[in-house]
Amino acid sequence: MSSVFVIDDSAVVRQAMVAMLDGDAGIELAGTAPNPLIAAPLIRKKRPDVLLLDIEMPGMDGLTFLRQQMAEAPIPTVICSSLSTEGSRIALDALAAGAVAIVAKPKLGLRQFLEDSRRELISTLKAAALSRPRMPKPRPLSTLPVRTPSMRGPHALSVNKPVVIGSSTGGTQAIEQILRALPADAPGIAIVQHMPERFTAMFAERLDGLCAMQVREARDGDRLERGIVLVAPGGKHMKLRKAGGQYFAVVLDGPPVNRHKPSVDVLFRSLCEHTNGDALAIMLTGMGDDGARGMKQLHELGVRTLAQDEASCVVFGMPMEAIKLGAVDEVLPLDAMADAVTCFDARG
């Protein structure tokens, strides 16, 4: 059983959480507090498995508290953030600081929203309880991307060989680490990261400011080409279609697949319809099995498939399920993934 401590200045949120978590046999409520200053001594006295943390609170904001907690005694933390632009931005800062997931919190209809999202929330908290939060690696003083293409032959520049990536819990840090290590003219990359609506646009914008490649939230009809990274929008699915030898994003609505929207399986299976095997599929850290079956189909079509190893994963679930299915060519540590993309590209 996983113990959860809720820190939120809203009494309505705390009451709703108590009611929601009380009904699940796999979770117990360790306690609640209206701000980190009150929560800190309670957490030190009895350490919970997971923190559910608000961002904007009086006395001490959630981001400051998270950074202190990660430096002293890391606890898996799920951020409960508003959908405002500023709330989304700070929530992404929290992910960069070591939080493992985000739960969206609208300003209106909060109680009904939480009740409707109970299954997703509890699944996220259970995944967080199994995670191994890590202090982010220090960034260099200069984080401005250098969009200068590396030297390649004309053949390599003309070849359209897509890279598809699936990730969930812990994936935002993993994706950032990979993309920051790639040159500006790396193969086009399509990413499904399990993340709520509105957060994906901010996530893509953040990556665009850190990476040599151009990163944006996918729009229907966007061409996947060299130097471009497309991130599936939260609350939508993303597929790839091929026309005239080029790949394009298809952004569409529809029911969740494997409880997720966007779903990794939807992206991976769409590539199966068009690839001649000249593609690369990567499964990164995350809870559950979304993408495992799609990766198996890609593997059977001759697509090279990679999975992040257990030691570098925050949660080993998604890579493990793909490995169990025999869908993975090679298991690699996170810090070897960028080189694997470069080697794949160099095959011509």
Q: Where in the chain is the domain with CATH 3.40.50.180?
A: 154-346
Q: Where in the chain is the domain with CATH 3.40.50.2300?
A: 2-129
Which residue did the predictor score with more confidence, 329 or 55?
Answer: 329
What pLDDT was estimated at residue 154?
A: 43
CATH level 3 topology of 2-129 = Rossmann fold (3.40.50)
Q: Give CA–CA dist 281/278, Å, rounded.
A: 10
* pLDDT tens readout for residues 197-236: 888 999 999 999 999 999 999 999 999 999 999 999 999 9
Q: Give CA–CA dist 94/82, Å, rounded.
A: 13
* pLDDT tens readout for residues 242-252: 998 899 999 99
Which residue did the predictor score with more confidence, 194 or 80?
Answer: 194
Which residue did the predictor score with more confidence, 185 or 21?
Answer: 185
Residue 290 is a catalytic residue: yes
Angle ∠(192,197,202) on CA atoms, nearest 5: 80
What pLDDT was estimated at residue 282?
A: 98
Q: Give CA–CA dist 79/104, Å, rounded.
A: 8
Residue 237 is a catalytic residue: no
Query: Average of pLDDT values for 188-196?
Result: 95
CA distances from 39 to 44, 53, 69, 76, 99 (A): 9, 10, 11, 15, 17
Catalytic residue, chosen from 24, 222, 290, 345, is 290
Q: For 154-346, CATH number?
A: 3.40.50.180
Q: Work out the number of other CB atoms within 10 angstroms of the CB of residue 342.
A: 15
Catalytic residue, chosen from 194, 237, 260, 299, is 194
Residue 168 is a catalytic residue: yes
What pLDDT was estimated at residue 142?
A: 46
Catalytic residue, chosen from 2, 168, 270, 312, is 168
Query: Average of pLDDT values for 169-184?
Result: 95
Average pLDDT of the chain, as a whole number: 88
